[in-house]
Structure 1
Amino acid sequence: MHALICGSMAFDTIMVFQDRFRHHILPEKVHMLNVSFLVPEMRREFGGCAGNIAYNLKLLGGSPLVMATVGDDFAPYQARLESLGIAQQHIQRVPQSFTAQAFITTDLDDNQITAFHPGAMTQSHLNRVADAKQVSLGIVAPDGRDGMLQHAREFKAAGIPFIFDPGQGMPMFNGEELLAFIELADYVAVNDYEAQLLQERTGLTLDAIAGKVRALIVTRGGEGSQIYADGERLDIPCVQAEAVVDPTGCGDAYRAGLMYGIMHSLGWLKTGRLAALLGALKIARRGAQNHVFDRGAIAAMYLEQFGERLW
């Protein structure tokens, strides 16, 4: 059976400014800002929530199906997915558009200025969940607004359990819409900031949200994560990473672990630990898809970290 991953496919163009923004942005002149930063260091990474989740799930031995809309410039990403053996039949090209992409400039203090172009992502509602076959679990990850609303309803109508993962798409929805997502979803996954925003917009506590779904998962960065399920809260510690290099894509790696654990009935403790391990592997490498592992390596790391077999 497959995991259907509804979300964005994107290119991330990352540039490094070898100075500090504060030396070039005058507070008293922000009303007439006109600055230019020389960025001799630049790299282009493969990203997007759906792409990142699928990448990690594939490395675990899972069978991800990506459902996304992309632009005319998608060819390099297409070639990458082919090399990884990730199915593309539900990735739809939107003519005369760009694939979603972020342009990120970082200074020496790790401050960032980001411009995001959604491009073809805004047309994600062109895809239909019903077109995907043999799906046992889905996820509605950050994507076009209309697509996220539609895919949540379609998962429910098809009887396919799914994770609602609003991520950076949270600001697009009001309290009533977020409540509707929670009512439709089987699982909700957010980070600690998003959890606070979700509570404020819906008027529900975390315990109340958890009571409406099979599980509520809250990631807390270096403080680990919490899984609310079966009337209890399970605290999952953070796994010590080889190095802390780049947090981009850590949440997506964690969600791939969640999906694998749910699909293989690993139980919440083992599922949370696997997800945390994937996050630690990701943070040690730059970019969202440059860490590499296989099932044997994951099993060995899991045994070393937790003193028990993973599978």
Structure 2
Amino acid sequence: MRIAVTGSIATDHLMVFPGRFAEQLIKEQLERVSLSFLADRLEVRRGGVAANISFGLGLLGFDPVLVGAAGLDFAEYDSWLRAHGVDTSAVRVSDTLHTARFVCTTDQDQNQIATFYAGAMAEAPRIDLAEIAGLTGGPALVLVGADDPDAMLRHTATAHRLGFPVAADPSQQLARIDRDQARQLVDGARWLFTNEYEAALLIERTGWAKEDLLDRVGTWITTLGEAGVSLASSGAPDLRVPAVPTERIIDPTGAGDAFRSGFLAGTAWEWPQEQAARLGCAMATTVLESVGTQEYKLTSSDLVARIDQTYGSDAAQSFEPQLAHVS
């Protein structure tokens, strides 16, 4: 089953501030903020939501088609992704611009302040999803992740026109898009991904209440950090899936992308949504325990053990046959 993953391809510059952002902010001066945080650690890692999700799918044995724009510095990153099972043939490589940059600082409470430079991502609207589908085989589903807004709108419209199920994941771009754009990105999606903050922002951006949104999508998946995941569908009670716990949180960056990889894999394997979400939670915790979004490794034994400890032996046994090839 081919999965096309559209969205950003980026390099992450991850820094750690050994204090609390909240202690540096003065409530009465929030309209005139001028702060400098002295970080005590810097990691330069590969990232971008589409690349991260594709990487996770590659580790699970899929051959995901990465659809995005990268820069003239992409060669090494391209080799890395291909070595981990990602089809990069659909990546547009700019002749003049560098690959996008994500610069993020995390404090000791795991709060984050980040800046994203688009770079080559500005060329993403030139990518034709219909042409890619013809060359790589029609995908069974298309995830539309954070990207240049015009590219997101174009990919969404093309996927709907061609009849490909859409997973809408607007995430960071919700802050940039207007009401009409937000509505176009989510209306008709088979799956909708947000975190808790983005869920509230999506309601504000679309002007639709939760019930209105649920009438327009199949399942709305909201990640809740250590509280796990909520799955909501119209006319049904919300389903809560607890997170896989860990005492070794090192870096939260990329955990949500790993969750999406696991959930989409479970969906492709035609698992019940609760089971797919459990795999996503296990992968998210694996990423929490490493620095960077693509530095983790997956093994069948580790994933099954995490699922066993959190969801019980019966759940673990149901995962074993499909995960046996993961190493």
Tell me the SS of whatever aligns to 2:43: strand
1:14 — aligned with what?
14
CA RMSD of aligned residues (A): 2.6
Question: Could you tell me how far apart the structure 1 residues matched to 2:169 and 2:145 are?
Answer: 5
- Specify the SS of the correspondent of 1:245: coil
SS at match of 1:184: coil
1:97-136 aligned at under 5 Å gives the runs: 97-106=97-106, 113-130=113-130, 131-132=132-133, 133-136=137-140
Give 1:255's match in structure 2, choosing from 245, 255, 260.
260
Distance in 2 (CA, whole Å) between partners of 1:273 and 1:110 is: 23
TM-score (norm 1): 0.90
Between the two proteins, the alignment pairs up a number of residues equal to: 310
Contact 1:153 1:184 in 2 (8 A): no
> In 2, Cα distance between the equivalents of 1:4 and 1:262?
14
1:271 aligns with 2:255: no
- State the shift of 1:85 in Å: 2.8
SS in 2 for 1:135: coil
In structure 1, how many angstroms separate the alpha carbons of the residues matched to 2:217 and 2:114? 34
**Whole-angstrom CA distance in 1 between matches of 2:37 and 2:224:** 33
Cα distance between partner residues in 2 of 1:105 and 1:279: 20
Q: Check whether the contact 2:174–2:205 (CA below 8 A) recurs between aligned residues.
A: no
Q: Deviations over 1:265-300 (max 9, x none)?
A: 101111111111111111111111112113454234
Q: What is the deviation of 1:3?
A: 0.5
Output the CA distance in 2 between the equivalents of 1:20 and 1:235. 30
Q: Partners in 1 of 2:278 and 2:17 — Cα distance?
A: 37
Correspondence for 1:140: 144
Change (3 A) 1:24 1:202: closer
* 1:174 counterpart = 2:171: no
Q: After superposition, what is the alpha-carbon deviation per residue over 1:155-199, rounded to whole angstroms, capped at 9, x for unaligned?
A: 101110010001101112222221222223221111111111111
Contact 1:246–1:285 (Cα < 8 Å) also in 2: yes
Q: Distance in 2 between matches of 1:88 and 1:253?
A: 19
Q: What's 2:325 paired with?
A: none
Residue in structure 1 matched with residue 79 of structure 2 by the alignment: 79
Unaligned 5+ segments in structure 1 are none
Which deviations, in whole Å up to 9, do the C-alpha atoms of 1:212-234 show, x marking residues without a partner?
Answer: 22211111111111111362211
Provide the residue aligned with 1:151 in structure 2: 155
The answer for the alignment partner of 2:203 in structure 1 is 199
Say if 1:75 and 1:3 are closer, same or farther in 2 by CA, change over 3 A.
Answer: same
**Paired residues of 1:59 and 1:294 also in contact (CA < 8 A):** no
2:213 matched to 1:209? yes
Specify whether residues 145 and 40 from structure 1 end up closer, same or farther in structure 2 by C-alpha distance, changes over 3 A only.
same
Q: Is the 8 A contact 2:100 2:120 kept in 1?
A: yes
Judged with a 3 Å threshold, the aligned counterparts in structure 2 of structure 1 residues 32 and 241 are, in CA distance, closer, same or farther, namely closer
Of 56-65 and 188-197, more deviation after overlay is shown by 56-65
Equivalent residue for 1:299? 304
1:161 aligns with 2:186: no
Moved more, 152-161 or 225-234: 225-234
1:44 counterpart residue number: 44
Tell me: CA distance 1:111–1:160, structure 2 relative to 1, closer, same or farther (3 Å): closer
For residues 222-259 of structure 1, the C-alpha deviation after alignment (integer angstroms, 9 at most, x for no partner) is: 11111113622111111112522211001101111121
- Report the alpha carbon displacement of residue 98 of structure 1 after superposing the two structures with TM: 0.7
Higher alpha-carbon deviation: 267-276 or 90-99: 267-276
Using structure 2 for the length normalisation, give the TM-score: 0.85
Identity %: 30
